[in-house]
Chains A and B, each alone.
Chain A
Amino acid sequence: MTRYLRRRVFHALIVLWAAYTLAFAVLYLLPGDPVQAMLSSGDGPSVATAAQADELRARLGLDRPLYAQYLDMVWDAVRGDLGTSYRTGESVLGAVARSLGPTFQLTACALVLAVIAGVSIGLLSTYVKSRALRSILQSIPAIGVSVPTFWSGLMLIQVVSFRWKLLPAIGAEGASGLLMPAVALAIPTAATLAQLLSQRMADTLNETFVTTARSKGASRARIHLRHAFRNASLPAVTVLGMLVGQLLSGSVVVETVFSRPGVGRLTIQSVEAHDLPVVQALVILGALVYVAANLAVDVLYPKLDPRVDLSAGASTVRSSA
């Protein structure tokens, strides 16, 4: 087990390093000059002279050969220094760390909502007997995954704040301020989860072992919960990493819509200002969250599915079909 864990952690570190390198390649190798972009990002035509541009370039260290920039940055990153922000001049790590709190609150809240809603809809969509109700329950997630988060957020504000005047549109403190953004953020994730689960429930209920359970005299509830749900939820667990990544992506939009501070706001500000070190750090943060979630799934999964044998190394699920 520990040997397995050590190998997984090592693998996760490799992925992180590769993500770092990829982010560097995207930001520094792709055509496009950040200095020009920064100087012209204000309103109106660029007034900067070539000399000003060169000076800025030298100040940011962008005039040195790329490999030297890369090696220095990796070395700094290993020591925990992700550079300084072009925009504010403060340490990138500090800026990112400061924005983590509100975003963590938001995404954790949204994840809980998404799991509750997704699992209930997914389960009910195969459990209810009425054909009409079932097709409604199946179309809710299909619409849910198609709604852009920025729009659902705005619609919530419009209806809940302006029409019904229940919650303030923006800037509320505490739980009341968290509710609407968390709901908006949870919708696509809940819908994805519900779709996956209802599909898998339908497939699992057609499997032969469910017939065996029926022939034992088991009730519908027992068949759905004890037999089908446990098997059907396994694929949903494996996409946890993806779902958390989806939430992080969504927080960029949601924090903008609700004018909340956090990682999302920081992302938008940094992209607008072509603040490469911060953007790079945020990309790495995204990868870190994904990798950590997957690591958790890898450790957790064998406890849920006995067919996965850790000592064999690769997580090979023996096909039973």
Chain B
Amino acid sequence: MTIATTPDDMHGSRAGTPPAPGPAKQGRTRSVPARWLLRNPGLLAAVAFIAVLLGWALLPSLFTSHDPLRGLASQANQAPSWDHLFGTDRLGRDLFARVVHGTSLSLRSAALAVLVGLVAGSSIGLLAGFTGRWVDDLAMRFVDVLLSIPGLLLSLAVVTAIGFGTTNVAVAVGIGSVASFARVTRSEVLRIRGATYVEAAYASGCTRRTVLLRHVAPNVVGPVLALATLEFGTACLAVSSLSFLGFGAVPPTPEWGSLVAEGRNALATSWWLATFPGLAVVATVVAANRLARALVADPRGGER
């Protein structure tokens, strides 16, 4: 019931320009993502790095000719060089090869963790937000309790119960992220349910099912996917932490967290062993977070 406020002059082109001429914005929309990407070198670098990571994960042998598991004793403990980009460990194994071959396991664990959190969390959030009343109350109290337990402790408790190993660690990390997915999904559902266009859909005769499927769900997907990207970075950190602590990958298998743990014992002599696998984690998480931030801010600069 607020009274007309003329939109700020700056947004004039989007707001109440006289209706007669066709909109000037047409044609801009398509080429925008590409140009927008070029104008953000940081984002471009993030996307490029993620592409490289996917290459490492899917076709590791394309990027390195060294064997990640077997090394030559004659080449043990070598510092980084052209031949061994990241150096070698005490068994003469090439660290770059171990990092590249470890990508698949690290990314898969993080992806599994996100999937667990996404499926469980967004179902809870969708149900709570759309059903309302006592279902909402109950679900949100449950989420409160999940939130009250620090993430890593919850994951550790789950690992204690179901046992060690990469898959279990991933599931445990995923359970730790259920709460944030549930909260974001619910608040998005509530926001969209309260939107005038949803009420307009009811008013023009749509059923609850139609409204949920055609209006609420598609509009919730965007923010939830942005959160998933963000959580991917968090999951990467958590999975590698648990691996570092020794609950994840079993020694000969390369995984970034456990590679750092291996390098820890040679910290004083072979600095590269702990440094490079850790850098891989940092770069991955930075790239994922940068991408997530870009997804939150819609490229078309539309309403947030």
Q: Is there a contact between chains A and B in the complex with CB atoms less than 8 Å apart? A: yes
A residues with a Cβ closer than 8 A to B are 15-16, 18-19, 22-23, 26-28, 30-32, 34, 37, 139, 142-143, 145-151, 154-155, 157-158, 162, 169, 242, 245-246, 248-250, 252-253, 256-257, 267-268, 270-272, 274, 276, 279-280, 282-283, 286-287, 289-291
27 residue pairs of the A-B complex, CB under 8 angstroms, read: A15-B148, A19-B149, A22-B149, A27-B161, A34-B160, A34-B161, A142-B286, A142-B289, A146-B286, A146-B289, A148-B241, A148-B282, A150-B257, A154-B267, A158-B274, A162-B268, A249-B151, A250-B152, A252-B152, A270-B160, A271-B156, A276-B160, A279-B156, A286-B150, A286-B153, A290-B148, A290-B149
Q: Is the CB of B278 within 8 A of A155?
A: yes
Q: Is the CB of B237 within 8 A of A142?
A: no
Q: Is the CB of A148 within 8 A of B281?
A: yes
Q: Is the CB of A279 within 8 A of B268?
A: no
| Distance of A280 Cα from B157 Cα, bound (Å) | 7
Q: Is the CB of B286 within 8 A of A279?
A: no
Q: How far is the CB of B232 from chain A (nearest CB, A)?
A: 12
User: Known contacts being A143-B282, A249-B153, is A18 close to B145, with CB within 8 Å?
Assistant: yes
Q: Is the CB of A31 within 8 A of B162?
A: yes
Partner of B151, one of A30, A245, A291: A245
Partner of B290, one of A142, A271, A286: A142
Partner of B275, one of A26, A155, A270, A282: A155
Q: Using Cβ atoms and an 8 Å threshold, which residues of chain B touch A246?
A: 150-151
Q: How far is the CB of A77 from chain B (nearest CB, A)?
A: 16
Chain B: interface residue total (CB-CB under 8 A): 47
Q: Using Cβ atoms and an 8 Å threshold, which residues of chain A touch B271?
A: 158, 162
| Distance of A27 Cα from B149 Cα, bound (Å) | 14
Excluding A145-B289, A146-B286, A154-B263, 12 further A-B contacts by CB distance (< 8 Å) are A142-B289, A148-B240, A148-B278, A150-B241, A150-B260, A151-B274, A250-B152, A268-B245, A271-B159, A283-B153, A290-B147, A290-B148
CB-based nearest A residue for B293: A142
Q: Is the CB of A252 within 8 A of B245?
A: yes
Q: Using Cβ atoms and an 8 Å threshold, which residues of chain B touch A289?
A: 150
| Distance of A274 Cα from B244 Cα, bound (Å) | 18
Instruction: Report B230-261 CB contacts with A as 1/0, cut-off 8 Å.
Output: 00010001001100111100000000010011
Q: Using Cβ atoms and an 8 Å threshold, which residues of chain A touch B267?
A: 154, 157-158, 162, 169
| Distance of A280 Cα from B156 Cα, bound (Å) | 10
Q: Using Cβ atoms and an 8 Å threshold, which residues of chain A touch B245?
A: 150, 252-253, 256, 268
CB contact list, B205-245 vs A, under 8 A: 233, 237, 240-241, 244-245
Q: How far is the CB of B282 from chain A (nearest CB, A)?
A: 5
Q: How far is the CB of B136 from chain A (nearest CB, A)?
A: 15
Q: Is the CB of B153 within 8 A of A267?
A: yes
- Which among A26, A151, A289 has the greatest number of chain B C-beta atoms within 10 A? A151
| Distance of A27 Cα from B274 Cα, bound (Å) | 33
Q: Is the CB of A150 within 8 A of B148?
A: no
| Distance of A242 Cα from B176 Cα, bound (Å) | 13
Q: How many A-B residue pairs have CB under 8 A?
A: 151
Query: Do most interface residues of chain A lie in helix, strand or loop, or is the interface mixed?
Result: helix
Q: How far is the CB of A262 from chain B (nearest CB, A)?
A: 14
When A and B form their complex, which 6 residue pairs have the shortest distance between CB atoms, in order from nearest? A151-B278, A249-B152, A146-B285, A245-B150, A30-B161, A18-B145
Partner of B162, one of A30, A267, A287: A30
| Distance of A73 Cα from B233 Cα, bound (Å) | 37
Q: How far is the CB of A293 from chain B (nearest CB, A)?
A: 10
Q: Using Cβ atoms and an 8 Å threshold, which residues of chain B touch A169?
A: 267
Q: How far is the CB of B165 from chain A (nearest CB, A)?
A: 11
Q: Using Cβ atoms and an 8 Å threshold, which residues of chain A touch B139?
A: none
Partner of B145, one of A15, A32, A34, A139: A15
Q: Is the CB of B150 within 8 A of A249?
A: yes
Q: Using Cβ atoms and an 8 Å threshold, which residues of chain B touch A287?
A: 145, 148-149
Q: Using Cβ atoms and an 8 Å threshold, which residues of chain B touch A157?
A: 267
| Distance of A257 Cα from B246 Cα, bound (Å) | 12
CB-based nearest A residue for B237: A148
| Distance of A22 Cα from B150 Cα, bound (Å) | 13
User: Known contacts being A22-B149, A162-B268, A253-B244, is A154 close to B286, with CB within 8 Å?
Assistant: no
Q: Is the CB of A279 within 8 A of B151?
A: no
CB-based nearest B residue for A287: B148
CB-based nearest A residue for B274: A154
Q: Is the CB of B281 within 8 A of A252?
A: no
**Cβ of B300 < 8 Å from any Cβ of A?**
no
**Cβ of B33 < 8 Å from any Cβ of A?**
no
User: Known contacts being A148-B278, A162-B268, is A26 close to B289, with CB within 8 Å?
Assistant: no
User: Known contacts being A142-B290, A150-B241, is A32 close to B146, with CB within 8 Å?
Assistant: no
- Which among A16, A158, A246, A274 has the greatest number of chain B C-beta atoms within 10 A? A158
Q: Is the CB of A151 within 8 A of B282?
A: yes
| Distance of A158 Cα from B274 Cα, bound (Å) | 10
Q: Is the CB of B148 within 8 A of A19?
A: yes
| Distance of A276 Cα from B161 Cα, bound (Å) | 8
**Cβ of B190 < 8 Å from any Cβ of A?**
no
User: Known contacts being A158-B267, A246-B150, is A15 close to B286, with CB within 8 Å?
Assistant: no
Q: Is the CB of B281 within 8 A of A248?
A: no
CB-based nearest B residue for A275: B160
Q: Is the CB of B241 within 8 A of A149?
A: yes
